[in-house]
Amino acid sequence: MKIGFIGLGSMGAPMAANLAKAGHAVTGFDVTGVMPEGVSPAAGAAEAAAGRDAVITMLPNGAILRSVYGEIVPAAAPGTAMIDCSTVDVESARAVAAEAEAAGLLPLDAPVSGGTGGATAGTLTFMVGGSDEGFAKAAELFDIMGQKAVHCGAPGAGQSAKICNNMILGISMLGVCEAFSLADRLGLDRQAMFDVVSTSSGSCWSLNTYCPAPGVGPASPADNDYKPGFAAALMLKDLRLSQQAAEAADAPTPMGAAATALYEAFVAAGSGGKDFSAILPDLMARGRQG
């Protein structure tokens, strides 16, 4: 397939590289000019989208997504699969989908889970909103870039699934970090804590796979000085999106709101570039009322 890829940052670059390695003709554009191996450069977003079978975007926010779609929708040929892998607000996802559909394109909102490690390894999970036709056309590409793609429903459903998933992730990571902090102060060995909880009712991904305590469980950012697999600033972005959606839907999310407030304070203190699991040493440095 001829693929345009717009947004070649820490997530987009390895995703595009994996498509190129699989034999697809990938043309890319990024405002920084960065171009991964195997990807041909385009002079702009419209050029990257013109004449492609699929156009993939991985962009920072809804405002930028809307702006880019204003350029690429007129340039794309009818029937092109427009796959947006950004994590943005549901309203923006639905707005660009409507714009693309009106032009005869096949829009999909397809945010991902798995972080930079998953992007590099090709093991991402895609949560996809859009038509059956669009999903079928993009399926081969999802198989290359990830290990699973779930068709969640109509346009906007992928973003809805992503923000719900990451609200759970933010809440559960805070719970795991608070439990380790409490265990430490109670004199409980961290390995013993892990061995019990990872096989008991407190078991969850934030503990079993991505343990925030260094030297315990499988290797995680905690074992690399909390260099980000998923930065705290990005977690805060997703939590804010969850609260924006909750307000619009009149859905009570008190734990989501509390997690958002905690990550807001963490990022405001200058820790936005650390992994989101670095909340653990932050908690350890606090007192009971901190």
Q: Is 133 left (phi over 0), alpha (psi -120 to 50) or beta?
A: alpha
Cα–Cα distance, 243 to 239 (Å, whole number): 6
Query: What are the extents of the domains in the chain?
Result: 2-153, 161-285
Query: Which residues have C-beta within 8 Å of that of residue 95, sequence separation ≥ 6?
Result: 66
User: Does residue 93 register a pLDDT over 80?
Assistant: yes
Q: Where are the alpha helices (DSSP H) in the chain?
A: 12-21, 45-49, 62-75, 90-102, 115-121, 132-145, 157-185, 190-197, 205-208, 232-249, 254-266, 279-284
Residue 290 scores a pLDDT above 60? no
Mean pLDDT, all residues of the chain: 96
Q: What does pTM read for this prediction?
A: 0.89
Amino acid 6: pLDDT = 98
**Gyration radius of the chain over CA positions:** 20
The band of 114, judged by pLDDT with boundaries at 50, 70 and 90, is confident
* CATH pick for 2-153 out of 3.90.1150.10, 3.40.50.720, 3.30.210.10, 3.10.580.10: 3.40.50.720
User: What does the pLDDT average to over 113-134?
Assistant: 94
Active-site residues, by number, are: 162
pLDDT, position 286: 83
Give the separation between CA 255 and CA 63, rounded to whole angstroms: 27
Instruction: Give the mean pLDDT of 105-130.
Output: 95
Mean pLDDT on 255-267: 98
**From the candidate CATH numbers 3.40.640.10, 1.10.1040.10, 3.40.50.2300, 3.90.1150.10, the one assigned to the domain spanning 161-285:** 1.10.1040.10
Region class of 27: left (phi > 0), else alpha (psi between -120 and 50), else beta:
beta
> Is residue 288 very low, low, confident or very high in pLDDT (cuts 50, 70, 90)?
low
The string of pLDDT tens digits covering residues 53-82 is 999 999 999 999 999 999 999 999 999 999
Q: What percent of the chain has pLDDT over 90?
A: 94
Please write the tens of the pLDDT for every residue from 16-60.
999 999 999 999 999 998 899 999 999 999 999 999 999 999 999
